[in-house]
């Protein structure tokens, strides 16, 4: 599927043909051999499109002839219905610059591309290709920060639920959040290395352009802050999971201890009663009519003695 856009000042406008367009966006579904036709029409290598559609592709940039490719990872909501999957995953956005056109390629619908296409970005000014790429980088970082805030809020709500219950559903939700944060940490780290390398090599040709260079520097700083937040939330979540596991283990130990005490208390009276349940001759007091009541009183007395003994030992250990 292909979409054509042009820029009228600071406004993005959809057009109907390649000749009228300044920005072209590609996303699935594609028909057979359609990718090759798009690559030929746009005069870019087929690998630039296929690499951008690979969800496992790492962040990087590449130059081939007059075409320049930038791959950067961005967060999206996971559409998988499988249980235990992460809430958010990261997928690449491919940005190709060739002549006077910009081509973006995504493996699925992407909220950042939608925001640009629908003119929902404040102060958006696609005056040149470098500035367009920087604006996209900036919105990508904002997307990570927004997702991190939602994940942290969800984590706080689940923790409150865990204080009042021990259901497995809350633990599954925490596991999903943890997986999302792992994706974020890896992708933000790769994005940071990419942007630092691009700045060092001046891949976007923004050196000596103060507004562009300042914006690029701010984006790198914001990306670093998002990475730090991801690491902090990951550590907090790991600590929460470990603390909850310790609480569950402690509660289980307490419960088993109580069951053990009850078992010991019941064992001695049962032992006394079992002796008199034997079908043997010459059992003491077997002919007395008060033997049954005596056994009950003896069992109760021994039970109380064990309760007192175990209670004193427990207080002593504390």
pLDDT band at residue 303 under the 50/70/90 scheme: confident
Q: Range with the lowest mean pLDDT among 40-44, 103-107, 115-119, 302-306?
A: 302-306
Half-sphere exposure of 19 (CA within 13 A, CB side): 0
Residue tagged 């056109």 (tokens): 101
Exposure string over 28-59, b if 16+ CB within 10 A, otherwise e: eebeeeebeebbeebebbeebbebbbeeebeb
Bridge partners, 73 (sequence order): 92
254-317 sits in which CATH class? mainly alpha
Mean pLDDT, rounded, for 284-289: 67
Which CATH code for domain 2-249? 3.30.460.20
Mean pLDDT, rounded, for 209-225: 91
pLDDT band at residue 253 under the 50/70/90 scheme: confident
**204 DSSP 8-state letter:** T
Instruction: Answer whether residue 148 shows pLDDT above 90.
Output: yes
Mean pLDDT, rounded, for 92-118: 91
Return the pLDDT at 18. Answer: 86
Return the pLDDT at 122. Answer: 79
Bridge partners, 76 (sequence order): 89
Return the pLDDT at 314. Answer: 61
Say what the pTM is: 0.80
Domain segments of the chain as ranges: 2-249, 254-317
Return the pLDDT at 279. Answer: 63
Report the alpha-carbon distance of residue 210 to residue 262 in Å, rounded. Answer: 78
Chain-centroid distance, C-alpha 162: 19
Q: Which residue has the higher pLDDT, 155 or 127?
A: 155
Chain-centroid distance, C-alpha 114: 23
Instruction: Answer whether residue 281 shows pLDDT above 70.
Output: no
- 107: helix, strand or coil: coil
Instruction: Answer whether residue 293 shows pLDDT above 80.
Output: no
Return the pLDDT at 278. Answer: 67
Report the alpha-carbon distance of residue 47 to residue 64 in Å, rounded. Answer: 10
Instruction: Answer whether residue 216 shows pLDDT above 90.
Output: yes
Q: Which residue has the higher pLDDT, 132 or 267?
A: 132
Helices (H) and strands (E) in the chain, counts: 7, 7
pLDDT band at residue 153 under the 50/70/90 scheme: very high
Instruction: Answer whether residue 270 shows pLDDT above 60.
Output: yes
pLDDT above 90 as % of the chain:
41
Residue tagged 């929902």 (tokens): 120
């Amino acid at each position: 599927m292909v979409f054509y856009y042009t820029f009228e000042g600071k406004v993005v406008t959809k057009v109907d043909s390649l000749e009228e367009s300044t920005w072209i966006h590609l996303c699935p579904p594609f028909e057979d051999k359609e990718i090759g036709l798009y690559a030929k029409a746009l005069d870019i290598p087929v690998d630039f499109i296929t690499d951008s559609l690979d969800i496992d592709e790492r962040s990087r940039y590449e130059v081939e002839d007059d075409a320049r490719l930038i791959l950067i990872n961005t967060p999206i909501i996971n559409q998988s219905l499988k249980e235990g999957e992460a809430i958010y995953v990261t997928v690449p956005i491919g940005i190709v610059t060739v002549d006077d056109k910009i081509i973006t390629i995504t493996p699925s619908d992407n909220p950042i591309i939608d925001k640009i296409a629908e003119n929902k970005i404040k102060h958006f000014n696609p005056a040149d290709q470098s500035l367009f790429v920087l604006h996209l980088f900036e919105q990508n970082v904002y997307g990570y920060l927004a997702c991190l805030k939602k994940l942290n809020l969800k984590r706080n709500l689940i923790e409150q639920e865990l204080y009042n219950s021990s259901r497995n559903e809350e633990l599954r939700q925490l596991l999903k959040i943890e997986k999302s944060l792992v994706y974020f940490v890896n992708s933000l780290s790769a994005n940071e290395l990419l942007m630092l390398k691009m700045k060092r090599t001046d891949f976007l040709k923004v050196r000596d352009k103060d507004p562009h260079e300042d914006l690029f520097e701010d984006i790198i700083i914001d990306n670093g802050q998002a990475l730090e937040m991801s690491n902090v939330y990951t550590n907090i979540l790991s600590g929460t999971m470990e603390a909850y596991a310790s609480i569950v283990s402690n509660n289980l130990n307490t419960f088993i201890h109580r069951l053990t005490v009850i078992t010991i208390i019941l064992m001695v009276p049962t032992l006394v009663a079992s002796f008199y349940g034997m079908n043997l001759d010459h059992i003491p007091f077997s002919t007395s009519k008060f033997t049954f009541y005596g056994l009950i009183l003896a069992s109760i007395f021994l039970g109380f003695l064990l309760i007192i003994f175990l209670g004193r030992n427990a207080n002593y250990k504390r």
